[in-house]
Amino acid sequence: MASRIPLKKSERRAPQNATRIGRTSPQKSISVSVIVKRKNPLDLNALGGRKLSHEEFNDKYAADPAAFEQIRTFAQQHGLTVDEAASSQARRTIVLKGTAEALESAFGVQLHEYEDTQHKRPFHCFEGAISLPEEHSGMIEAVLGLDSRPVAKPHFRRLDASKKKASSQSFSAVQVAQIYNFPANLNGSGQTIGILELGGGYTENDLQTYFQALGLKTPKVTTVSVDGGQNSPGDPNGADGEVELDIQVAGAIAPSANIAVYFTPNTDQGFIDAITTAVHDTANKPSVLSISWGGPETSWSQSSMTALDNACQSAAALGVTITVASGDSGSSDGTNGTTVDFPASSPHVLACGGTALMANGKQISQEVVWDDQSQGGGATGGGFSTTFDVPSWQSNTLPSGSNGRGVPDVAGDASPESGYNVVVDGEQEVVGGTSAVAPLWAGLITLINQQLATQGAQPAGFINPTLYQNPNAFRDITQGNNGKYSAAKGWDACTGLGSPNGASVLTSLTSNATSQNG
C-alpha cells in the first residue's frame, strides 16, 4: 500500500462550545472540496498592479488539468465520485462525494458528530491531521468539508433601545455617504457588488420599503447558491439583520449597481467556495466583494486560512476588491486573549474597522473609536495577525516592532449609537457593527470603479498599497480604544488609516490607475 503523509497545516483540535454526540454514521453522505495548488506561483508584486483577464489567469494560475486527473483516479480508488458540475480548474476546486466511511479511509481521519451549544446546530469534524498518499500530497493545498463546524459570525450589532444615550444619532446610508464626502455624481451604474452571506436572508418587501423611503430605485439583486446555501429570511434571532444591512448600505450608496448575494453554509468549505465562486463569476462579474463575517484567527485551521488567503490573492490579480469587517468584539475578538478576526487579517483584503460618528448636518462634529464594551456592547476589532507577516505596503506605517499584519486598514461609522436605519423582517431598526463598514467601503469602491470605467481604466482592484501611500485621503481618528489598543496619530490598531474622505479616495485611486495605464 502506498505510504501516506500528513497534509501540511491541516491539524484540527476538538471544537470548543460543542457537545460530542458520537461517531458519524458510516453511511452519511458528505461532500468535500479539494483545493489544488496553482500551475504557477502567483506573484502580485511582479504584476505591478496589472489586472489579469479571466482567460490569462486560467492559462497561468488555475489548477493543472493533470492534477485534477490524478485526484479523479484517487477518488475512484476510494469509492468516491467527482461532482464535475461543482468543480472548477479556475477555482482550483475539485469536489468529491461519498460516504463518511469512504472519506475516512481516503483522508485518514475519524469523523465524529457534535452539537453547537449556542445554536444547537449539529456538525461533523475530526481531530488531528488529514493524511494523503505521498504522490498526491504535494499538489493539494487544502481538503475542506471533513470539518463542518461553524467558522464565522456576522459582525452586526442592533441598537439596544434600553441603553440608548441622549446623544444617540442614527443615519441613513445616504447621509453617511454625504458626511464622508462620497462623490455625488456617481451611482454605480454598470457595476456589480458581490456580497457574501453565511446565513439569514432578505425579502423583496423589505428592500422595496427601504429604498422607496430613500426615494431610490430598488437595485437588481441576484442570489447565487453556493454549496446549497439559500436566501432564508424569517428567523428573528438569525442573520437577517446582517443580510439586509449589507444589501441596503451598499445599495443606497451605489443605487444603480447590480448586487449579487452569494449564500453559502457557515463552514470553512462554504466560506472559501463562496469567495472563489464570486471572484471567478463571469456571469455577474462583481468588481467588489463585501464580507461581514469572520472568526478569531485562533479558531481557523492553518490550511483553511492559506486557502482563503490564496483565493483573495486571485481576487487581487483579477481586479476584484474584497472589503471585510474587522469584528465587533474589540482587541480580544471574543476570546480570552488578544487576537484579530479572519479573514479581515488576510493581507489581500481591505480590513474595515469602526468608529462612533457624531454629525451636524453633513459636518462631522466628533468621530472616535467605536467602543461600547463598558456598557455590555461591542467595539471595533483590531490588532496584529499572528498568522500573516507585515505586508510590504504596511511596513512604513505600523508602529516599530510590529511583527504581524496590522488590522484594520480603514474605518467608518459602526457604533449602534450612531447606527444605520435599515428594514429587517418588516421592522425599522437601527443597526451598527463593522458589518456596516464593509458594504460602506464596497459602495464607495463601486462608485470609483464606475468612474474608472468611464476613463477606460480597469477596476481599482487591490487598493491597499495605494491607500497607504495616500494617508491624507482619510480623517485620522485619534481618540478612544478597543481594549488593548488606543487610537493615535497616523495608523492605529483601532481604525487603521481612519475614516474616508470619499472624494480624496477617488482622486488617489483614479490617479493611480491613470499612472498605471499611462
pLDDT at 204: 97
Nearest to 171 by CA among 352, 500, 422: 422
Choice between 165 and 223, residue whose per-residue pLDDT is larger: 223
d(CA 251, CA 284): 16
Q: How big is the chain by its Cα radius of gyration, in Å? A: 22
Helices (H) and strands (E) in the chain, counts: 13, 27
Contact assessment for residue 121 and residue 48, using Cβ atoms and an 8 Å cutoff: no
Query: For the chain, first and last CA: distance in Å?
Result: 59
d(CA 33, CA 10): 14
d(CA 405, CA 386): 8
Distances (CA, A) of 320 to 123, 225, 329: 32, 20, 28
Nearest to 477 by CA among 382, 363, 367, 394: 367
For residue 291, pLDDT beyond 50:
yes
pLDDT at 167: 78
d(CA 242, CA 233): 11
Homologous superfamily of 153-517: Peptidase S8/S53 domain (3.40.50.200)
Q: How confident is the model at residue 518 (pLDDT cuts 50, 70, 90)?
A: very low
d(CA 268, CA 141): 14
Q: Name residue, grid cell 449597481.
A: 257
Q: How confident is the model at residue 249 (pLDDT cuts 50, 70, 90)?
A: very high
Across the strands, what pairs with 96?
32, 82
Q: How confident is the model at residue 371 (pLDDT cuts 50, 70, 90)?
A: very high
Nearest to 289 by CA among 460, 506, 424, 431: 460
For 56-105, how does the pLDDT look when each residue is reduced to its tens digit (9 = 90+)? 999 999 999 999 999 999 999 999 999 999 999 999 999 999 999 999 99
For 128-141, how does the pLDDT look when each residue is reduced to its tens digit (9 = 90+)? 999 999 998 899 99
Sketch the domain layout of the chain as residue ranges.
Answer: 4-144, 153-517
d(CA 425, CA 415): 21
Positions annotated as catalytic residues are: 242, 246, 435
- For 69, counting Cβ atoms within 10 Å of its Cβ (0-12 exposed, 13-18 middle, 19+ buried), the class is exposed
For 322-368, how does the pLDDT look when each residue is reduced to its tens digit (9 = 90+)? 999 999 999 999 999 999 999 999 999 999 999 999 999 999 999 99
pLDDT at 161: 79
Residue 471 has φ and ψ, to the nearest 5°, of -65, -20
Q: pTM value?
A: 0.98
pLDDT at 154: 96
pLDDT at 517: 55
